[in-house]
Structure 1
Amino acid sequence: MSTAAEKAMAAGVNVDLVMLDGFVQPAILVDKLKTVKYVPIREDDILLCTYPKSGTHWTWEILNMIVAGKAEYAKHWQNSAWLEYRTEEELAELASPRILHTHLRPSQLPDAVWDKRCKVVYVRRNAKDCLVSSYNQLSQQVWKDNPFGKRSYTGTWDDFIDLYLDGSFPGGSYFEHTVEWNNISKAHKDFEICRLQYEDLKKDCVQEIRRMADYLGRRLPDQTYQAISDACSFKNLKHANEKIKDQTYHFNWQDGSSGYFRKGITGDWKNWFTVAQSERFDKVYEERLKETFPY
């Protein structure tokens, strides 16, 4: 019987995948994932935790500006502080307070995150928009260092939905990821995290920036919140990442595309899902998360 990783590769995922602790993971990350729980953590570290395509670049830049106290872009791409991709030596070189970001589930994070009561910001996004964004990135771009020389996904849209729904997806299931973060207070009693919704950030970015600043204990003047919101608009942040930032940690694609910035909107899933696909998705969503799909 095929594993979930084998099923994903057979369906068109052109990345070497393996099973690790019951989840599908890129083979290139296995060694790091086995040791990530022991990565040294500082008491003033801030962790940004998201499922892929949930506004990671956006929120990471906002957090850096809050910590800096001004609407000034961080020097490097957010990949410079990617917990599960950077080496311990690279992470150790980052100045405090570090804003580390990760797509890992709570149970995969270093134990020190909880022991040292680090600040944790968790951003959740409409699952259907996450799926559409992932599909477009994986099906349209070829990593420069991809040994297969192919797009990361060459299967059908319908098969991609199936892979997403049953967790046969690089990095693991959206549902498992969300359930763990929803239940974080049970796993770590009285641990307070800052929960954000991508759609709320789009609706009133200034208000959500203010909430993050309050959580971090770094309140700023109202005009600074507005300046940060403006600097981190989709258009401005896309320009900064492609034209202003140091490109050392930028993952490039063969076609020269930045890859990460497509539309940055909400509700695009309605342009992709058929009625039957949407109903199938909603059924699994409700079964796994015990809630009705809200969008």
Structure 2
Amino acid sequence: MSTLAENAMKAGVNMELVMDDGKVQVALMLDRLKNAKVLPIRDDDILLCTYPKSGTHWTWEILNMIVAGKAEYAKHWQNSTWLEYRTKEELETLASPRILHTHLRPSQLPETVWYKGCKVVYVTRNPKDCVVSSYNQLSKQVWKDNPAGKASYTGTWDDFIEFFLKGCIPPVPYFEHAIEWTNISEAKKDFEICRVHYEDMKQDCVREIRRMADYLGRPLSDKTYYDISEACSLMNLKHANEKLKDQTYHFQWQDGASGYFRKGITGDWKNWFTVAQSERFDKVYKERLNETFPY
């Protein structure tokens, strides 16, 4: 009988997937996940924790500007600080305070994150929009270590939704990720994290920037909050990432791909999901998270 990993690869996921502790994982990530668990953490590290396609680049740049105290883009791509992808040596070259980003679940993070009391910003987004954004990226993304030059996903949209619900879409199963982060306050008593919603940032970015700055203990002027919000608009951020930044850690893409930055809107899922797909998604969401789909 085929495993979920094998079924996903047969249906168009063009990465080697394996079953690890009952979950689908990208084979090349296994050693990296083990290494991430024991990476040295500094007292002043700031961790940006997200499920993929939840506004990671957006929030990472905002956090860098808050720390810098001005609306100035970080020199490097955010991938230079990707906790589970960078080596210990690469991360050690980063100046403090480091703003590390990760898609890992709390149980996969270095334990020192919790007892050192690092600042943790956790960003969520409507998962239906995450599905659409993931599909558009993975169906056009060509990984630099993919010798076949194929996109990461070449299957159908229908299958993509099903594999997402079953936890087969790399790099992390959605529901396991959401469950652990939802319950982190119970698992790590008295540890305060800053919870941010993508939709709230779209509604009032300045307000959310101010809230993150307060959490980090780095309050800024109202003008600076507005400047950061403007600098981190979709078009400005896309231009900065493609034209101004060091491209060392930039992944390769097929011609015509929008890369990490596509529409940057809320509710695009309505243009993709059928009524039946939406209802099935809502049903699985309620079964797995024990709550009604909130969006």
Aligned to 2:169: 169
Aligned to 2:284: 284
Taking the aligned partners of 1:16 and 1:147, their CA distance within structure 2 comes to 13
Aligned to 1:62: 62
Aligned to 1:14: 14
Aligned to 2:197: 197
Taking the aligned partners of 1:216 and 1:85, their CA distance within structure 2 comes to 25
1:267 is aligned to 2:267: yes
Aligned to 1:130: 130
Code of the residue aligned with 1:130 in structure 2: it is: C
SS at match of 2:121: strand
Q: Percent identity?
A: 79
Taking the aligned partners of 1:108 and 1:220, their CA distance within structure 2 comes to 33
TM-score by length of 1: 0.98
Distance 1:144 1:39, change over 3 A: closer
RMSD: 1.1
Code of the residue aligned with 1:101 in structure 2: it is: H
Conservation of the 8 A alpha-carbon contact between 1:66 and 1:218: yes
Alignment of 1:225-240 (within 5 A): 225-240=225-240
Conservation of the 8 A alpha-carbon contact between 2:138 and 2:152: yes
Taking the aligned partners of 2:131 and 2:166, their CA distance within structure 1 comes to 13
Code of the residue aligned with 2:92 in structure 1: it is: A
TM-score by length of 2: 0.98
Conservation of the 8 A alpha-carbon contact between 1:15 and 1:26: yes
* Cα deviation code 1:54-79 (max 9, x no counterpart): 00000000000000000000000000
Distance 1:275 1:258, change over 3 A: closer
Aligned to 1:223: 223
C-alpha displacement at 1:257, in angstroms?
A: 4.2
C-alpha displacement at 1:87, in angstroms?
A: 0.4
Conservation of the 8 A alpha-carbon contact between 1:23 and 1:171: no
Taking the aligned partners of 1:171 and 1:149, their CA distance within structure 2 comes to 19
C-alpha displacement at 1:21, in angstroms?
A: 2.4
SS at match of 2:139: helix
SS at match of 1:140: coil
C-alpha displacement at 1:37, in angstroms?
A: 1.0
Distance 1:197 1:46, change over 3 A: same
Q: How many residues align?
A: 295
Which has the larger displacement, 34-43 or 92-101? 34-43
Code of the residue aligned with 2:196 in structure 1: it is: L
Alignment of 1:3-152 (within 5 A): 3-152=3-152
* Cα deviation code 1:14-73 (max 9, x no counterpart): 011112222222112111111211100000000000000000000000000000000000
Taking the aligned partners of 2:204 and 2:50, their CA distance within structure 1 comes to 19
Taking the aligned partners of 1:276 and 1:191, their CA distance within structure 2 comes to 40
Q: Which runs of 5+ in 2 are unaligned?
A: none
SS at match of 2:196: strand
Taking the aligned partners of 2:244 and 2:171, their CA distance within structure 1 comes to 30
Taking the aligned partners of 1:73 and 1:151, their CA distance within structure 2 comes to 29
Conservation of the 8 A alpha-carbon contact between 2:140 and 2:253: no
Taking the aligned partners of 2:23 and 2:120, their CA distance within structure 1 comes to 23
Conservation of the 8 A alpha-carbon contact between 1:120 and 1:193: yes
